[in-house]
Amino acid sequence: MAEEFAHDAANTRYTVTVDGEPAGFAEYAETTDGVLDFHHTVIDPAFRGRGLSGKLIAHALGEVRAAGKKIIPSCSAVERFIEKNPDQSDLVA
């Protein structure tokens, strides 16, 4: 199972594909001060149960950190990820 993660900046989302098939996304809105409000995460039902949500969020937050930005975890999946990974809490605006 080949998982690929990408930033689709044009559609303000991070995506995951599995074996070339779209499997899910974490969508955000950028605030006027450059903070990314992650408000919606979806994993296609056919790909659930594989831990893709956590992997996708981890990838997205890694890129946010590398860019020196902060987030608002409006999405419950992102909020739970931060709770389970307190080392990422410094990214919260």
- The pLDDT tens digits for 22-45 are 999 999 999 989 899 999 999 999
- What pTM value is reported for the model? 0.95
H or E stretch at 78:
helix 76-84
* Domains of the chain as residue ranges with CATH: 3-91 (3.40.630.30)
Q: In the chain, what percentage of residues exceed pLDDT 90? A: 97
Is residue 46 predicted with pLDDT exceeding 80?
yes
Question: How many residues make up the chain in this entry?
Answer: 93
Q: What pLDDT sits at residue 60? A: 98
